[in-house]
Amino acid sequence: MRSKAKGSRKKKRIAGKISTYIILALIAVICAGPFIWLLLSSLRTGANIYSLHFSLKDFSISNYTGVIEYMDLGKYIWNTIVVTLGGIIIDVLFSSMCAYPLAVMDFKGKKIIFGLLVATMIIPAAAGMIINYLTISKMHLLNTLLGVILPTSVSTFSIILMRQAYLGIPRELIEAAKIDGAGELRIWATIMIPGIMPSISTVVIFDFIKNWNAFLWPIIVLQDPEKYPLATALQYLNGSFSYKFGYVAAGTIISIIPVLLVFMICQKNYIEAVSGAVKG
């Protein structure tokens, strides 16, 4: 009787796992549905985009070659790389430096400063655009890529995330380094930064997605379309080829590929950082 009971429980567990995987697979298909439809549409020419009939005979890369021929894609990709890498470097450097005293040092007003940082997260990004524009104008950085990078480079979210990561590093390591004569800058560079690499990877992922897909702010700052990043330059496809959705889909897929690659490279550290934040 016991063996039969164990066998039935085992079957129930297996059936439960199978049903769970089926449900998760369906959810994944639903979530990935728009992307799959966009990808398939980018590989079709002269077909109704709303048609769900797909055949290998209809697939072609002519939409991709057409986009590359119509747009100076390399120029726009280079502009996007400059904006993205510049924003990531500034955010990682200054956010990690700003988070260090908030996590390690004791000084008056630390809690107030941290509270004000958290409070700024409820302010909509659009609310600061006028101030940012006036600041960039006074600094004579209009129509420059630096003017696109600076206002949105350092993120409050990055500071808070790194502060929480710093709190997970044992204080004994910091005290031992101070006994050995290490200064604050050396402790930050040699002990703290290597200890929060998962959080830095998370910041890199979020910054990459934000800066690579930047659309509205570059339009406001840049008057010269030749300096547009890729996401902003794709508006030409919407205007010039609104009747030819395959070109628009192909350009969108090209802009999405780097984001997917960065996420796949950093996803291990990203999962570690998120799970650590949930545990904390």
Look up the CATH number of the domain holding residue 178.
1.10.3720.10
Residues 127 and 211 in one domain: yes
52 has pLDDT over 70: no
Residues 27 and 75 in one domain: no
Residue from 176, 191, 202, 194 nearest 263 by CA: 202
Residues 36 and 134 in one domain: no
Distance (Å, rounded) from C-alpha 148 to C-alpha 150? 6
Q: Does residue 249 form part of some domain?
A: yes
Q: Does residue 230 form part of some domain?
A: yes
What average pLDDT does this structure show over 95-108?
90
Residues 117 and 25 in one domain: no
Collapsing DSSP to helix, strand or coil, 235 comes out as helix
Residues 232 and 198 in one domain: yes
Residues 16 and 143 in one domain: no
Residues 18 and 145 in one domain: no
Residues 73 and 174 in one domain: yes
Q: Does residue 206 form part of some domain?
A: yes
Q: Does residue 189 form part of some domain?
A: yes
Q: Does residue 192 form part of some domain?
A: yes
Q: Does residue 35 form part of some domain?
A: yes
* pTM exceeds cut of 0.85: no
Residues 126 and 209 in one domain: yes
Distance (Å, rounded) from C-alpha 190 to C-alpha 187? 5
What is the reported pLDDT for 51? 65
What is the reported pLDDT for 69? 79
Given the structure tokens 């690579």, which residue do they identify? 212
Q: Does residue 59 form part of some domain?
A: no
Q: Does residue 235 form part of some domain?
A: yes
Q: Which domain holds residue 21?
A: 2-42
Given the structure tokens 């007003």, which residue do they identify? 109
| Mean confidence (pLDDT) of the chain | 83
According to DSSP, the residues that pair with 59 across neighbouring strands are 44
In the chain, how many domains are there?
Answer: 2
251 has pLDDT over 50: yes
Helix (H) or strand (E) holding 220: helix 216-221
Residues 239 and 208 in one domain: yes
Collapsing DSSP to helix, strand or coil, 83 comes out as helix
Distance (Å, rounded) from C-alpha 242 to C-alpha 238? 5
- Residues 214-231 have pLDDT tens digits of 888 998 999 888 899 988
Residues 100 and 30 in one domain: no
Residues 71 and 131 in one domain: yes
What average pLDDT does this structure show over 4-26?
80
